[in-house]
Amino acid sequence: MIRIFQDYQTLSEMAAQAIVTIGLQCLEDRGKFELVLSGGSTPKQAYSLLGRQWEHKRRLWENTQVYWSDERCVLPDDSRSNFMMARQSFLDTVRIPADNIHRIHGEADDPHVEAKCYEVEFPPRPDLLLLGIGTDGHTASLFPHSTALEEQTRKFLAVQTPAEPPSRITITPKGIACASEIMVLVSGTNKANAVQQVFAETGNILETPARIVHNAIWLMDKEAAQKITKTILIET
Ligand code: 6PG
């Protein structure tokens, strides 16, 4: 499903609303909400909006378990840390209990060992997985031509990437497939080519890893969607 919004602010508001709606439904159905956060900068505004009037959603946040799709191999207080971004954007505001925050320890001496530990901690079927997409079509820290794209058994792997910082711990396609719902947030003209490649009739995940989640819920602004054909929109 693809939903296109006028601008980044509207996209962020709708994303925050959707996250809360899904969370409240999970709380009603199962008494908890297992949320997997994306990194990068796109979700920052949506995360901040989650903190708005948080007192009215106290029961939700008290029963939310937070995980990450990937993490850079840096200290948790490093400005490049995905955990740090989420903590500053909303985790501190909504006062999610510390025991409910399951960060990937990017600072671990051996990222391969941490990836193994994290996939044990990761829930078998998280309720909602948030993802972004890079200008090259990567998602999480699954970059084009990464060997992690062909991983069949592991849910998390330590990888070397062409990005900064290069060392990452990332969810794999098998880990992504565990999620009940997947929501991809995309904003900006610079993502239009990558988005076009995700929904193009021909292509492959080695070239465009985000094709793994082409069937997910895509929330994007008009700039990011500018190269999507009408046919694709009608079909979705
Ligand atoms: C990361 C993310 C990554 C991100 C995209 C988009 O750790 O950086 O997992 O996949 O979602 O690179 O990043 P922006 O939102 O900053 O454009």
Q: Which residues face 68 on adjacent strands?
A: 37
Q: What is the pLDDT of residues 81-111, one digit of tens each?
A: 999 999 999 999 998 999 999 999 999 999 9
Q: Which of 50, 72, 84 is nearest to 164 (CA)?
A: 72
Give the list of residues 6+ apart from residue 47 with CB closer than 8 angstroms, or none: 16, 37, 85, 86, 89, 90
Ligand 1: residues whose CB is within 6 Å?
A: 38-42, 69-70, 82, 132, 134, 138-141
pLDDT for position 139: 98
Query: Does the pLDDT value for residue 233 go beyond 70?
Result: no
**Dihedral pair phi/psi, residue 67, rounded to 5°:** -125, 180
Q: Where are the alpha helices (DSSP H) in 64-211?
A: 82-86, 92-94, 111-121, 173-177, 192-199
Q: Among 12, 36, 38, which is best to mutate for testing ligand 1, by the most ligand atoms less than 8 A from CB? A: 38
Closest-CA residue, ligand 1 atom 10, reads: 140
- Residues making up the chain, counted from first to last: 236
**Dihedral pair phi/psi, residue 33, rounded to 5°:** -135, 115
The residue to which tokens 């997985």 are assigned? 129
Q: What is the pLDDT of residues 188-230, one digit of tens each?
A: 999 999 999 999 999 999 999 999 999 999 999 999 999 997 7
Domains in the chain, CATH or no CATH each: 2-235 (3.40.50.1360)
**Dihedral pair phi/psi, residue 2, rounded to 5°:** -120, 125
Closest-CA residue, ligand 1 atom 7, reads: 39
C-alpha 80/C-alpha 147 separation (Å) is: 24
C-alpha 82/C-alpha 173 separation (Å) is: 20
Cis peptide bond prior to 165, omega within 30° of 0: yes
Task: Please tell me the distance between residue 33's alpha carbon and the centre of ligand 1 in angstroms.
Answer: 23
Nearest atom, ligand 1, residue 132 CA: 11
> Mean pLDDT score of the chain, rounded to an integer?
95
Query: Which amino acid, residue 111?
Result: P
Burial of 141 (0-12, 13-18, 19+ CB in 10 A): buried
Task: Please tell me the distance between residue 187's alpha carbon and the centre of ligand 1 in angstroms.
Answer: 11
pLDDT for position 234: 54
Extended strands (E) in 33-174: 33-37, 64-68, 70-72, 128-131, 156-160, 167-171
C-alpha 170/C-alpha 70 separation (Å) is: 4
Both structure tokens of 131: 């993802």
Q: Are 44 and 33 in contact (CB under 8 A)?
A: no
**Dihedral pair phi/psi, residue 207, rounded to 5°:** -80, -40
Nearest atom, ligand 1, residue 69 CA: 9
Q: Which residues face 130 on adjacent strands?
A: 183
Q: What is the pLDDT of residues 30-71, one digit of tens each?
A: 999 999 999 999 999 999 999 988 888 899 999 999 999 999
Q: How far from 155 is each of 39, 117, 121, 127, 135, CA to CA, in Å?
A: 17, 11, 11, 16, 24
